[in-house]
Amino acid sequence: MPLMTIIDAVKNTIDQQMELNDNVVTFGEDVGFEGGVFRATKGLQQKYGKERSFDTPLAESAIIGSAVGMAVNGLIPIPEIQFSGFVFPAINQIITHVARYRNRTKGTYSLPMVIRMPYGGGIRALEHHSESIESLFAHIPGLKVVIPSTPYDTKGLLTAAIKDPDPVIFLEPKRIYRAFKQEVPTEEYIVPIGKAKVVQQGDTITVVAWGAMVREVENAIKLLENEKINVELIDLRTIQPYDKQTLINSVKKTGRFLVVHEAYKSYGPGAELIATINEQAFLYLEAPPTRLAGFDITIPLPKGEHHFIITPKRIANEIKKVSSF
Amino acid sequence: MLTKTYSPLKDKILEVLDYKGKVVNEKLVPKLDKEFLLNMYKTMMLGRVADTKALQYQRQGRILTYAPIKGQEAAQVGVIAALDKQDWMVPAFRELAGMLYKGAPLKQLFMYWYGNEEGNHFDKDLKILPISVPIASQLNHAAGLAYASKIKKKGEVVVAYVGDGGTSHGEFHEAVNFSAVFDLPVIIIIQNNQWAISTPRSSQTKAKTLAHKAIGYGIEGIQVDGNDPLAMYIATKEAKEKALRGEGPTLIEALTYRLGPHTTSDDPSIYRSDDEVAYWEERDPITRFRIYLIELGHWTLEEDKALIKEYKDYVNKIFKEVEETGLIDLDEVFKYNYETMSEDLQNQLNEYKEYIKEAK
Ligand SMILES: Cc1ncc(C[n+]2csc(CCOP(=O)(O)OP(=O)(O)O)c2C)c(N)n1
Ligand SMILES: [Mg+2]
């Protein structure tokens, strides 16, 4: 099996799906000739031609709005938004059309499409290049929101997303795009949307994360090696719909719950998860379910970003606190 | 009216100096004294030196990402030189030389690329809005500034910048249309540097020129040699006078070229040829302006050398000051999100401070 980074896995998957299905097309700013600023589509234009992999004019609303029409008319578009911070001009299309098309046509039309975008902080980038905005999408009925944390899952989840009859927002943790390699099968496989992964079993505390935060929690667990804390680490993998059962089962076992996310705290994904824990596992709780999340401030520019970033040390500290409550 | 003579429909480009620094059209040469011309030239040069240095600092790991302006100095300085103190400048993110001319301190301009919000606000009297990274979004702000200026009879004109790629954006359409409908005192400068990252101008629009777009909005447009500071100056000056008469916006397409990479994370050799770059290097705005000034007797090569040396030292000194600012304090990143921090936010800060104390 070849070793791949997350970005390799993205490219490998789009390539494979374009090969298997003539209807799959991919496009966006600098996506065609250059293969995207992160090279996620590198070589695809050369391989499949300019009709199926192309540069668009600089206009996010056109990128997503045209994807709606393409999907209605038989294509499976995989539009790329260069950075999640530039999706906002397309939010109108995403919320008013992409999310609602199936419902408002009583199922006559569905919009199979995958809107890909790199997201998240920790890369000391310019303004608008560091936000974690998963809950903006997860809040909207009709959208699925998927976030991989490993190369293997990237391929499986992206394949599932492309085959999904409904629109999927595919958020790629750019901080770990090239952070590590993993064996990734060359053949097609699926990691189902809506299923979490128990990364590590444990019975002291349940810790949930996704995207780049999964690795930060793993690093935190290493810091806790000498403590008597057995963390059950769950990689949520899909924010909407999310795997309630896996979370609830885990909390029933551990009685303690911590969610770690870089997205802003207020009305962030953690609030939703904790509400579910309270609703469905309340009597099993031995400590208040807790969020370790981004502060409710605009993510600072690089010289202040370290205040915002959630470090393994902070996660370890929080795990200890919740575990000893 | 230049916009009549050089109407986009006539396929003409406004030029005063050719790329060898020779005057092409004597009648168009603006009457500017030596001091004024030298101030323009020196600002372009400071922009160039700062730009070269910024790329160096980036390679040394002392700056994170930077968007170079090399080759676009005339399209910036020529415009701002035609403004008055009370006029507004609404930048995109590649206007370092223009911002310098408007009075922004180099230190602050560097602070932005250094990664500090300190680089995002200038002395209010300078009338420069913060850098705007989301493409074309700043143009509607320009419309609003101009609307306020108009109804309050402030006599301010607003110059707003956008790139060739930016003209594809919905916000471009909305802002130009809005400005046109209300006859707002707005001047939109399109820095057509031929590329939007790896996407060429030809992939952005079927319009023959970007100035053509003005016609559909019912306003005047003009294509100008953007590497000719004098042409940019006279085009802006005319647009400004028109705006002050209440005759609405003008769209100026500055034909120029990004000689450097899109940003320090970009490798332009992937998408463009050395020949193309060489063609534009010959048309360097600074070279032609220097020749012109020397011919006029306003400048010498010795003075030029001395100036470059002076600016190198100056830029190094300023960047040292930038580096001395180091990291941003914790309180700073919380402090400005609201005028008054909510109790909850204050608690988030306090808890974090407690954590830091314990973790030590
Ligand atoms: C809304 C939005 N989409 C995408 C980007 C990413 N991006 C930054 S610069 C750029 C190209 C801009 O090209 P152009 O308007 O020609 O300006 P130039 O960079 O050439 O100065 C892109 C796509 C962005 N900043 N904002
Ligand atoms: Mg451009």
State which residues of chain A have pLDDT below 50.
none
- Same domain, yes or no: B209 and B246: yes
With b meaning 16 or more CB within 10 Å and e meaning fewer, what string describes A203-229? ebbbbbbbbbbbbbbbebbebbeeeeb
**pLDDT, average across residues B182-190:** 98
pTM of the model: 0.97
B198 to A33: CB separation less than 8 angstroms, yes or no: yes
Q: Smallest Cα–Cα separation from A137: which of A175, A195, A107, A93?
A: A93
Count of Cβ atoms closer than 10 Å to residue B329 Cβ? 11
Q: Are residues B276 and B359 in the same domain?
A: no
- What average pLDDT does chain B have? 97
Cα–Cα dist B159/B165, whole Å: 18
State residue B351's pLDDT score.
97
The verdict on a CB contact (< 8 Å) between A303 and B135 is: no
**Pairwise CB contact (< 8 Å): A55 & B169:** no
Is residue B153 domain-shared with residue B228, that is, in the same domain?
A: yes
Whether residue B137 is found in the same domain as residue B262: yes
Residue B94, ligand 1, Cβ within 6 A: yes
CA B150 to chain centre: 24
> A303 and B355 in contact by Cβ < 8 A?
no
Together in a domain, B310 and B337? no
Give the best residue of B174, B328, B346, B349 to mutate against chain A (max A CB count within 10 A). B328
pLDDT in tens, B2-12: 999 999 999 99
The pLDDT, as a whole number, for residue B66 is: 96
Does the fold of domain A197-323 match that of domain A3-183? Answer: yes
Catalytic positions of B: 258, 262, 271
> What band does B97 get if pLDDT is binned at 50, 70 and 90?
very high
> φ, ψ for residue B308 (rounded to 5)?
-60, -45
Write down the pLDDT at residue A218. 98
Q: CA nearest B250: which of B299, B180, B297, B203?
A: B180
Assess contact for B319 and B106: CB atoms under 8 A: no
What is the domain count for chain B? Answer: 2
Task: Identify the H or E element spanning B124.
Answer: none
User: Shortest CA distance to A96 belongs to which of A59, A71, A68?
Assistant: A68
CA distance B224 to chain A (A): 23
Give the residue numbers in A contacting B (CB under 8 Å), as ranges.
Answer: 29-30, 33-34, 37, 55, 57-59, 61-62, 85-86, 88-89, 124-128, 265-266, 295-298, 300-308, 313-314, 317
**H helix count then E strand count, chain B:** 14, 7
C-alpha distances in angstroms, A288 versus A78, A155, B157?
41, 36, 58
The H-assigned helical ranges of chain B are 2-5, 34-59, 73-80, 96-102, 106-114, 138-151, 170-181, 213-217, 229-244, 274-282, 285-296, 301-324, 330-335, 343-359
Query: Cα of A195 to ligand 1 centre, how many Å?
Result: 37
Q: What pLDDT is attached to residue B360? A: 81
Residues B247 and B300 in one domain: yes
What is the phi/psi pair of residue B66, to 5°? -145, 140
How far does the centroid of ligand 1 lie from the alpha carbon of residue A82, in Å? 10
CATH architecture of the domain with range A197-323: 3-Layer(aba) Sandwich (3.40)
Q: DSSP class of residue A300? A: P
Measured distance CA(B317)–CA(A117) in Å, rounded: 40
Q: Please give the DSSP secondary-structure letter assigned to residue B128.
A: B
- Domain spans in chain A, listed from the N-terminal domain onward: 3-183, 197-323
CB A31 within 8 A of CB A78: no
**pLDDT of amino acid B227:** 98
pLDDT in tens, A218-243: 999 999 999 999 999 999 999 999 99
B304 and B176 in a single domain? The answer is: yes
One domain, residues B268 and B258: yes
- In a shared domain, residues B254 and B334: no
Query: Are residues B151 and B138 part of one domain?
Result: yes
C-alpha B46/C-alpha B297 separation (Å) is 21
B193 lines ligand 1 (CB under 6 A): yes
Q: What is the pLDDT of residue B359?
A: 87
Residue B52 one-letter amino acid: T
Q: Find out whether B202 and B165 touch, Cβ atoms under 8 Å.
A: no
Catalytically active residues of A are: 129
The C-alpha atoms of residue A83 and residue B89 are separated, in whole angstroms, by 27
Chain A residue numbers with beta carbons less than 8 Å from the beta carbon of B165 are 57-58
* Domain boundaries, position B350: 330-360
- Report the sign of the C-alpha dihedral through residues A135, A137, A141, A147, in that order: negative
The strand pairing partners of A114, in sequence order, are A168
pLDDT of residue B173: 98
Q: Tokens for A17, please give them.
A: 């799906």
Q: Is B201 in the pocket of ligand 1 (CB under 6 A)?
A: no
The closest alpha carbon to B137, from B93, B107, B97, B196, belongs to B93
Measured from the Cα of B72, ligand 1's closest atom is 21
A49 Cα distance to chain centroid: 29
CA B113, B117, B118, B124 torsion-angle sign: positive
The per-residue b/e assignment along A130-139, b for 16 or more CB within 10 angstroms, e otherwise, is: bbbbbbbbbe
| DSSP-assigned beta bridge partners for residue A77 | A25
A158: alpha, beta or left, given left = phi > 0 and alpha = psi -120 to 50? alpha
Same domain for B54 and B187? yes
pLDDT band at B27 (very low <50, low <70, confident <90, very high): very high
The verdict on domain A3-183 having CATH code 3.40.190.150 is no
Residues B233 and B302 in one domain: yes
Q: Could you tell me the end-to-end alpha-carbon distance of chain A, in angstroms, rounded to an integer?
A: 45
